[in-house]
Amino acid sequence: MNHLSLIVRTIVAWLVTLTIVFPLIWLFLTAFKTELQAIAVPPELIFTPTLENFHEVQARSDYLLYARNSLITSVLSTVIGLALAAPAAYSMAFFRTKKTKDLLMWMLSTKMMPAVGALVPVYVIAQTAGMLDSLTGLTIVFTLSNLPIMVWMLYSGFKEIPPDILEAARMDGAGVWGEFVHVIRPLATGTLASTGLLCLVLSWNEAFWALNLSSANAGTLATLIASYSSPEGLFWAKLSCASLMAIAPIIVLGWFSQKQLVQGLTFGAVK
């Protein structure tokens, strides 16, 4: 009985996953096609792959520079963001006051204004501060954009920790730091990891600010993608290739943080 349900579940899970991921698989295949093959009707599943798009992307854009900038801004904004958000979430989760909920709502409301409405004010500020086209400026913008989300997610994650464990630790004489290191962190690794991953991805994909606040030097992979979309002429193969090259680092990172996630998750389930 159990064996049958395992087989059924496996098949269903794989079918559903492949259906959902199909557009991405198509993107992957298209990156290895010529432009003519990419627009073929009916679509070609079997074709001779070519690396010409990768050559083109390499020759035309400084992929490594953009990747480096993306990496720096995303990682830094995630780290700084976690450093700012974790204590805040911690205090809000474990030292609740009447004002806590209002504070949380206010934090979230700072994100409610569509970025496009704030473009000119932020552009003018950035220009006055000399932060246009600088990695510092971008990192600051990314961090502040993602901070409310991180506080919310960490707060929610911290609240799932059963309070009796904390009580026990406190009674054992652990100070705040000890509490954090020995009790919270192991139990909340999953939340920390998923919050960090989310912030990383959000910064990685942040296109609006990256495009508008950078020019020659601080462009990220988002600007790389932008330079391949909708030119005059066939471009889907090249765009697929550029997208693949933009996603690749994150997928690799995601694969490795998978282990972290799993570790954190199994820890969480153990009593």
Q: Which residues ranging from 7 to 66 are in contact with other proteins (CB under 8 A)?
A: 9-10, 12-14, 16-17, 20-24, 26-27, 30, 34-36, 39-43, 59-61
* Residue 72 vs 201, nearer CB to other proteins: 201
* Contacts of 222-228 spanning 24+ positions with Cβ under 8 A: 222/70, 222/246, 223/66, 224/61, 224/63, 224/66, 227/61, 228/57
The distance of closest approach from Cβ of residue 163 to other proteins in the complex, given in angstroms and rounded to an integer, is 12
Integer Cα distance of 194 and 32 in angstroms: 32
The distance of closest approach from Cβ of residue 119 to other proteins in the complex, given in angstroms and rounded to an integer, is 6
Binding mask 215-254 for other proteins (x = CB under 8 A): xxx-x-xxx-xxxxxxxxxxxx--xx-xx--xx--xx--x
**Side-chain half-sphere CA neighbours of 82 within 13 A:** 18
Residue with tokens 């989760």: 93
Integer Cα distance of 180 and 16 in angstroms: 39
Q: Which residue of 75, 79, 119, 135 would you call a contact of other proteins, by CB under 8 A?
A: 119
- Tell me, by CB under 8 A, how many residues bind other proteins: 124
Residues of span 120-159 touching other proteins by CB under 8 A: 120-125, 127, 132-133, 143-144, 147-149, 151-153, 156-157, 159
Residue 120, CA distances (Å) to 115, 126, 136 in order: 10, 10, 19
Under 8 Å between Cβ of 138 and 191 = no
The distance of closest approach from Cβ of residue 172 to other proteins in the complex, given in angstroms and rounded to an integer, is 19
Cα angle value 147/214/228 (rounded, 5°): 105
Amino acid at 184: I
Q: Does 98 bind other proteins (CB under 8 A)?
A: no
Under 8 Å between Cβ of 223 and 13 = no
Q: Does 183 bind other proteins (CB under 8 A)?
A: no
* Residue 159 vs 185, nearer CB to other proteins: 159
The distance of closest approach from Cβ of residue 178 to other proteins in the complex, given in angstroms and rounded to an integer, is 14
The distance of closest approach from Cβ of residue 182 to other proteins in the complex, given in angstroms and rounded to an integer, is 18
Q: Which residue of 1, 46, 171, 269 would you call a contact of other proteins, by CB under 8 A?
A: 269
Q: Which residue of 1, 46, 112, 171 would you call a contact of other proteins, by CB under 8 A?
A: 112
Q: Does 111 bind other proteins (CB under 8 A)?
A: yes
Kindly state the greatest CA–CA separation across the chain: 71
